[in-house]
Amino acid sequence: MPDYRFQIRASDGKSSVGVLSAKDLMTAAQTLRAQGHQIQQLTPIATSAQSFRQRLRAANQTSGPSARDILNFTSQLAVMIRAGISIRAAIDGIADQIENPRFKTILLRIKTDVESGKQFSEALSRHPKQFNQLYVNMVRASEMSGSFSRMLDRIAAYLAQQIETRAMVIGAMIYPAVIGLLAVAVTIFLLTFVLPRFADVFAGKEAAMPAPTVFLMALSSFMVKFWWAVSGGLVLGIIGLALFARTEVGARFFDTLKLRVPLLRRMFRALYISRSLHTMGELVNAGVPMLDTIRITGDISGNWHFKRMWRAVYGSVKQGKKIVQPLTRNPLLPTAVVQMMGAGEESGKLGEVLDEVSTFYAKQLREVIKTVTSMIEPIMIMVMGGVVGFIAMSIILPIFRLSTLVK
C-alpha cells in the first residue's frame, strides 16, 4: 500500500507529523479522522518503485471530475432511479464506486443536502463547476413534472453528444498543430545547425549572394548568438497570448478569428449553431421557462458573438416579442434556420424543430470536419515544403553563383 505523510492536530491541541500506510488518500483521511485528529496536511509519498501509470492515476484523482465522469454518474443515476432505488441510496451507491476523491466528496455533499430536505436540483446548483445551468434547470423541470429518470436519460444523451462533438473538433485541430510544430522545429534546426556550417564559405562574399541568402545568414547568426532572447521571447509570447485569451477583449478577438478564418469558419459556425440549437431544444422540451432557456443557451454557446446574439433575443422576448424577430437581422444563423424556428414557434412545436435542425447541423459538422482535415493536410505539407525549399535554395543558389565566378 502507498504511504502518506500527514500533519495533524490532536484533540489536546498539539500538532504532530508522521507517515501512514493506506489503500488510498480517502482511506488515509478517514483513518486519521476516526482517531479524533484534525488533518492539517496529507500528501502521498512518491517512491522510486512507483510506476508512471500509478503517478498519472494519482494526479487524475486529485483533479475534479471530467465531463465523462459527469456523464457516467448521470447514466447510472437514471438506471438506479428507474429501478426504484431512492435518490439518496442511489447517490450513496454511486459514490462508493467513484475513485476520484474530489468527485466522491461532491456526491456525498449532494447526498447530505438531499437528506436535509433540499431538492436534488438545489443540491446540484451548489456545485456549478460540475453541474452547469442546463443540467440544474433540466433536473428542476423534471422534479416539477415527475419525469426524473427520463430527464436524466435526456441529459446523459446531451452530454454524450457534446463530448463526442468536442472530441471531433479537438481531433481535427491536433493534426495541423503537430505539422505546424514540426515545420517550426525543422526551420529552427536549419537556421541554427545547418546554415552556420556555410558561414565560413560565404564569408566576405556577401556582394555575390542573393538577398534571401543574406537575410537567412543574418537571421541564423542572430538566433545562434541570442538564442536565449529568442527562446525567452517565444515563452513570453505564448504566456502573453494565453493571458490575453482569458480577457474579454482577447476572447472576443479569438472568437471573431474562429468565424473568419476561411478554412475553419465553416467548422466553427456549424459547431456553435449545433450546440446552441441542441441546448435550446433540450431546455424547451424539458419545460424550462423560455427566458431561462435563452439565457442558458447563450452562456453555453461557446462564442462571444453567439452569446451576444442570444442576449439580444433574451431582451426581445422579455419585451413580449417573438424569438425570431431579432434573429432575422443576424448573419450568424442561416435564413432557413430562422424560418423553421419561426414556423415551430407559431405551431407550438419549437422543441421538435430545434431537435431536427440541431441534428442536421451535427451531421454537417462531421462532414465539415472531414473536409477540413483532408484539406489541411496538403496545405500544411505545402507550407512546410515551401519553407524548407526556400532555405535549401538560399544555400544552393549562392554556391552555384560562386562556382560560376571561379570558372
Q: Where are the domains of the chain?
A: 3-61, 67-161, 180-407
- Give the CA diameter of the chain: 97
Which of 13-17, 65-69, 203-207, 233-237 is modeled with the greatest confidence? 233-237
Number of Cβ within a 10 Å radius of residue 375:
11
Which of 11-15, 47-51, 54-58, 291-295 is modeled with the greatest confidence? 291-295
232: CB partners within 8 A, 6+ apart:
none
Check residue 310 and give its pLDDT. Answer: 92
Residue 264's SS3 state is coil
CA 107 – CA 91 distance, rounded (Å): 7
CA 177 – CA 282 distance, rounded (Å): 34
Check residue 61 and give its pLDDT. Answer: 47
- Residue 393, CB-side half-sphere exposure with 13 Å CA sphere: 9
Q: Which residue has the cell 475534479?
A: 64
Domain covering 180-407: architecture: Up-down Bundle (1.20)
Global pTM exceeds 0.85: no
Q: Residue 312 above 70 pLDDT?
A: yes
Q: Which residue has the cell 498543430?
A: 177
Q: What are the counts of helices (DSSP H) followed by strands (DSSP E) for the chain?
A: 18, 3
CA 210 – CA 358 distance, rounded (Å): 57
Q: Residue 186 above 80 pLDDT?
A: yes
Q: pLDDT tier at 399 (50, 70, 90 boundaries)?
A: confident
Check residue 325 and give its pLDDT. Answer: 86
**CATH code reported for the domain at 67-161:** 1.20.81.30
CA 381 – CA 284 distance, rounded (Å): 46
- Interhelix angle 265-286/148-189, rounded to 10 degrees, is 170
Q: Are 182 and 383 in contact (CB under 8 A)?
A: no
Residue 9's SS3 state is strand
Q: pLDDT tier at 215 (50, 70, 90 boundaries)?
A: confident
CA 45 – CA 21 distance, rounded (Å): 10
CA 365 – CA 169 distance, rounded (Å): 9
Check residue 22 and give its pLDDT. Answer: 75
All cell numbers assigned to 392: 535549401
Question: CA-CA distances (angstroms) from residue 46 to 64, 101, 201, 253, 346?
Answer: 21, 18, 54, 43, 64
Average of per-residue pLDDT across 192-199: 81
Number of Cβ within a 10 Å radius of residue 385:
11
Average pLDDT in the chain? 82
Q: Do domains 3-61 and 180-407 have the same CATH topology?
A: no
Average of per-residue pLDDT across 11-31: 71
Question: CA-CA distances (angstroms) from residue 199 to 64, 108, 196, 208, 230?
Answer: 54, 68, 5, 14, 20
Q: Give the strand order in the sheet containing 38-44.
A: 15-21, 3-9, 38-44
All cell numbers assigned to 45: 509519498
pLDDT tens profile 278-293: 889 888 888 888 899 9
Using only C-alpha atoms, the chain has a radius of gyration, in whole angstroms, of: 29
Number of Cβ within a 10 Å radius of residue 341:
21
Q: Which residue has the cell 422579455?
A: 318
Check residue 52 and give its pLDDT. Answer: 46
CA 113 – CA 227 distance, rounded (Å): 58
Q: Which amino acid is at 370?
A: K
All cell numbers assigned to 172: 481535427
Of 213 and 332, more confident: 332
Give Cα 277 to chain centroid, integer Å. 20
Q: Residue 212 above 90 pLDDT?
A: no
Average of per-residue pLDDT across 227-237: 89
CA 341 – CA 353 distance, rounded (Å): 7
Check residue 307 and give its pLDDT. Answer: 92
Q: pLDDT tier at 58 (50, 70, 90 boundaries)?
A: very low
Check residue 207 and give its pLDDT. Answer: 67
Q: CA end-to-end span of the chain, whole Å? A: 78
CA 350 – CA 317 distance, rounded (Å): 15
Check residue 208 and give its pLDDT. Answer: 67
Q: pLDDT tier at 205 (50, 70, 90 boundaries)?
A: low
Of 368 and 19, more confident: 368
Check residue 42 and give its pLDDT. Answer: 61
Q: Which amino acid is at 2?
A: P
**What topology does CATH give the domain 3-61?**
Ubiquitin-like (UB roll) (3.10.20)
